[in-house]
Amino acid sequence: MMQGRLSLRAQIVGVTGLAMLCLQVTTVVLLLDERYFTSQIQQVDDALYQFTNVVVILEETPDFLHDSVIKANTDNQQIFSLNASPVLTAADDSGWSAAFEESYFDSLERTDFSTSAPIISVEKVSENSERKSEKVWSQDVIAIEAQISQGDYLYAQFAQPPVSINLQWRLLGLLFVGLLSVAGLLLLMTIALTRPLNQLTQAARAFGLGQKAIFIKETGSADIRQAAAAFNQMQDKLVEALENQKHTLAAIGHDLRTPLTSLRVRVETLPDSPKREKIVAKMDELAAMLEAILKFAKLQSDPAALSKQPARLTSLLSALCNDYQSSEKECSLKVNNEPPEVSIDSLNMRRALGNIIDNGLFFGSKVMVTLDNIGSHARVTIEDNGPGVPPEKLAQLTRPFFRAEISRNFSSGGIGMGLALAKQIIELHDGEISFHNHENGFHVKVLLPIQ
């Protein structure tokens, strides 16, 4: 669902930006992890060097000076102690003992002293603070222990300085700048790629609304150039076809109206008789059919013929309902919330809404017209008390020449062009029309955008 609401530009920038973000974050995490690992190796190596020096000093000094040696090498960053029993066990080994064992014994090779293999532990003090007798640090510590030749266990604890956050901030800054740069380049690239598509969309929309054909520049990538060329070719063909249709309809209208008028004049000279009345009625039916077809075709071939002006629907609907006051049918208007002005061709909109009202009064005895303001649209609801329309036929009501009444008799429901023409006019005003059955009849909803 979301993908359908996003533009191509947003999708390209979003997907590529997300991929770059994941890549950059992964890179930063790996760099920081590698830096921490390298830093810890260096710190363990330094701690082991200090530990070896103290071992050598202890081996070279008498036992009564051992406490002095321990105190002399204990400060804010390291603690030494001699214990009769071990503080660390094999379970405390952090895996560094085996890695640094060779380095440790290499340091003692130059002396005649020897110790047991060291146990190296890297941990937070808070995890095992009961064995840290003299000082507790907040950062990680390195603990080393080995048994010296006299039998005692030399235990040492070294504070690990926290890893500097400067690098983290620099990497995050680099990540941010990199993402901005990539997003900017992607945005510029997608603007260049999608500009022809936007122009194509606008031209297609304008042409669909009956505006003058717009030639699309054939620029951009090969695919877009081909699409623009195909659109221009299609547009030229449609314009040519519409022009031919317009001229053909004008010719047909003239050629049909002339003989109909001539026949009507001749029929009027005949004496009154039932046969004459039938001929006149049939000619009126043909004239009405011809007029409806020509109006429908004219709007279809030349939508720009509409002359839209700001108007209030209240006045238009009131005038429509007043036209039926002298008839036996009832048409009433109810305004719930009067909308502002709408931009309409009043003559054609009157024809469209009049066709709907005529349809309702033909199948029912009364029509209620309701006008509402629903935000950005004016809503006109036309309800009748007729029998309604079978649900399976609702979608066909606006099809030219379709009639829900199957007799095909002009006197029993027209020629089936009224609702088709109404739908065409309403949609040319960027409006919508829908049909619904209800308990007491049938109603039509028309939505028109407010100016």
How high is the mean pLDDT in each 10-residue block of the chain (451 residues)?
A: 59 76 78 71 79 83 87 87 83 60 59 61 54 46 80 84 67 79 80 78 74 75 81 84 74 74 80 81 76 70 74 91 83 89 89 90 90 91 89 82 55 66 87 89 91 72
Four-CA torsion 357, 359, 365, 368, nearest 10 degrees: -30
Alpha carbon 174 to its chain's center? 30
Q: Residue type for 72, please?
A: A
DSSP label at residue 220: S
The interaxial angle of helices 166-208 and 222-268, nearest 10 deg, is: 30
Please tell me the distance from the alpha carbon of residue 243 to that of residue 301, in angstroms, as a whole number. 8
Cβ atoms < 10 Å from Cβ of 53: 12
Please tell me the distance from the alpha carbon of residue 281 to that of residue 433, in angstroms, as a whole number. 32
59-65 long-range contacts (CB < 8 A, ≥24 apart) are 59/111, 59/113, 59/148, 59/149, 63/150
> Tokens 């071939």 correspond to what residue?
301
* Kind plus residue range of the DSSP H or E element containing 441: strand 441-449
The answer to whether residues 134 and 70 touch, using CB atoms and an 8 Å cutoff, is no
pLDDT value of residue 97: 54
| Structural Rg of the chain based on CA atoms | 46
pLDDT value of residue 338: 85
Token code pair at residue 200? 């194509």
Alpha helices in 160-215 (DSSP H): 166-208
Greatest Cα pair distance, the chain, in angstroms, is 153
> Tokens 């890297």 correspond to what residue?
122
Token code pair at residue 170? 């620099």
Alpha carbon 31 to its chain's center? 35
